[in-house]
Amino acid sequence: MTVIGAFLTVVLCVAVYCVPRRAAALAFLAAVLYITQGQTIDIAGINCMAIRFVESFAFLRVLVRREYPKGELLGVDRWLISFLVTSNLVFMLRTGKFDTYGFGMAIDAWFCFYSFRALLATPEELASFLKGAVALLLPFALCMIVEAVTGRNLFAFMGGVSEVSVFRDGHYRCQASFRHSITAGTLGATFLPLFAGFLFERRSRRWALTGMALSCIIVVTSRSSGPLMTTFAVVCAWCCWPLRRRMGLIRRGIVAGVIGLHMVMKQPVWFIFDRVSGFIGGDGWHRSNLIDKFVKHFGEWWVAGMPIENTGDWAATKMPWGGVDVTDYYVSIGLNGGLVSLVVFIALLTACFKLLGKALQTIREQNPELNPSSLETMVWGAGCAVLGHVVNVSAVMYWDQSYVIWYLHLAVATSLASYCLKNQPVGKASSLPQEEGAPAALALVS
């Protein structure tokens, strides 16, 4: 760990523990953006990255100050716990070994999710957090622009990232502090819909537009098809906003469209990634082929997963460990934890969208007019962010600090929905408490 890395780690650990809740969440985000995974310390043979120290201090703060969410666990909370336990348990039963890496990732997941659930528990806290996030993303986006122009990564001195960016198709694929350009671009693609949720509030429009512009810069400079595909997905989700009261028809239409494509395409429908990459570039064929092999070898992995080494003949190129390059998180879940783990993960996503749907319904019953409330747009934006991750992980695994962004957005969606269900009783007028500096239209229109 370098002197600068150690200094930033200590400062941000102190910040997430001591400063007010909203600022603590921003300190957590700052650690994701400005400390690479090259900043590590070996403790008893365990590779402890800087981000793990920050998330540990955040979790400790929540416990000591008793800021954890009150009330019983929601469906999302229970399904997340079930997924983390199931995936590790199935792996251990199959191999007879304790998976240190998998256990560490499970701890990371719960620490991040639980901490953000506590630190961003209200719409006011989320609004303040996103406004501060714009200030954090500005220098980060500038670093991406410099990297795009010069091909030099300004974060290389911290280690864990390449000094010279990958050059492909006439452009540098920028990654900044992340391990890969795809995960760097994911940051922008999934924050974009959250900022869009504040465009309906005049006093918030300026910083929301700035945040959206910075998000787009991060996506474009990453030069990766995965983040571009995710951006397209979240934009399409926001385009459904005028039809938000008819989402049942939209969902049925999507299912019918997928079935129709499967029937008319010469290859299975998951080869749509290959077709799309023909227009936007990227490794679409590899992703399609990976899913195809995953489906065809269903009998080998569905019970309790299968050794990754057995996938060596799934593609022309083998990785150093003898298996295929698994760039699909759903495939990874199945290979490591079998069908039960994959089903539990899908149940987690389903529970999240159901919770968001109930929250939106509660808001609309309170505000039956067509003009949207600010809270409704915030919840919609959070749902779009989660959808972005659902699409994105079909093309990448979150193998660097990007997992923090995933659990941040999952926690935000859960907290917002929980707030709506607790504080917006049907049939009773209510409004969000106002604070100095908070957007005025955070109050519900009754």
According to DSSP H, which parts of 19-165 are helical? 21-34, 50-64, 75-95, 100-119, 123-150
For residue 398, give the nearest of 326, 329, 308, 337 by alpha carbon: 329
As a whole number of angstroms, the distance between CA 4 and CA 39 comes to 10
Question: Residue 359, Cα to own-chain centre: how many angstroms?
Answer: 20
Sorting pLDDT into bands at 50, 70 and 90, what band is 436? very low
Neighbours of 300 (CB within 10 A): 14
Q: Is the pLDDT of residue 295 over 50?
A: yes
CA distance 423 to 15: 30
CB 393 within 8 A of CB 186: no
The torsion angle over the Cα atoms of residues 412, 6, 158 and 3, rounded to 10 degrees, is: 160
User: Distance between CA atoms of 336 and 321, rounded to whole angstroms?
Assistant: 15
Please report which confidence band the pLDDT of residue 107 belongs to, taking 50, 70 and 90 as the band edges: very high
Rounded CA-CA distance 84/344 in Å is 9
pTM of this structure: 0.90
What does the pLDDT read at residue 445? 27
356 closest CA partner among 407, 418, 406: 418
Whole-number Å distance between alpha carbons of 446 and 429: 6
Task: Of 50-64, 109-123, 152-166, 239-253, give the lowest mean pLDDT range.
Answer: 239-253
Statement: residue 48 has pLDDT above 50: yes
State the Cα–Cα distance between residues 373 and 364, nearest whole angstrom: 9
Residue 133 confidence (pLDDT) above 60: yes
Query: In a 10 Å sphere around its CB, with 0-12 CB exposed, 13-18 middle and 19+ buried, how is residue 52 labelled?
Result: buried
Q: In angstroms, how far is CA 327 from the centroid of its own chain? A: 16
What average pLDDT does this structure show over 168-184? 90
- Pairing between strand 171-173 and 166-168? antiparallel
pLDDT at 226 over 90: no
Q: Do residues 222 and 182 touch, judged by C-beta distance below 8 A?
A: yes
Please calculate the CA angle 53-56-62 and round it to the nearest 5 degrees: 145
Most confident of 44-58, 192-206, 361-375: 192-206
For residues 179 and 137, give the distance between their C-alpha atoms in angstroms, rounded to a whole number: 18
State the number of CA atoms in the 13 A half-sphere of 7 facing the CB: 4
Residue 270 DSSP symbol: G
Q: Which stretch of 38-42, 177-181, 222-226 has the lowest confidence by average pLDDT?
A: 38-42
For residue 357, give both structure tokens. 């749907």
- Candidates 351, 405, 291, 404; CA nearest to 343 is 351
Residue 437 banded pLDDT, cuts 50, 70, 90: very low
In this structure, of 7-11, 232-236, 256-260, 357-361, the range with the lowest mean pLDDT score is 256-260
pLDDT, average across residues 325-342: 93
**CA 329 to the chain's CA centroid:** 12
Instruction: Express as a percent the part of the chain with pLDDT over 90.
Output: 57
List pLDDT tens digits, range 235-289.
999 998 888 878 778 888 888 888 888 888 888 887 877 777 666 556 677 888 8
Answer yes or no: is pLDDT of 17 > 60.
yes
d(CA 12, CA 228): 31
Q: Which two tokens stand for residue 119?
A: 């630190």
What lies within 8 Å, CB to CB, of 7 at 6+ separation is none
Tokens of 158: 């911290």
What's the pLDDT score for residue 152? 94
Place of tokens 């269900």: 421
Q: What is the mean pLDDT of residues 174-186?
A: 93
**Mean pLDDT confidence for 356-366:** 88
Q: In this predicted model, what pLDDT tens digit does every residue of 199-211 receive, in sequence order?
A: 988 889 999 999 9
**Rounded Cα gap, residues 274 and 281, in angstroms:** 9
Look at residue 169 and tell me whether its pLDDT is greater than 90: no
Q: How much is the average pLDDT of 287-303? A: 91
Which tens digit of pLDDT belongs to each residue from 391-431? 999 888 888 899 999 999 999 999 999 999 887 544 333 33
Q: What is the pLDDT of residues 69-96, one digit of tens each?
A: 776 778 899 999 999 999 999 999 998 8
Task: Tell me the three state secondary structure of residue 251.
Answer: helix
Q: Which helix (H) or strand (E) holds 173?
A: strand 171-173
Looking at residue 434, what is its pLDDT? 39
* Average pLDDT in the chain: 87
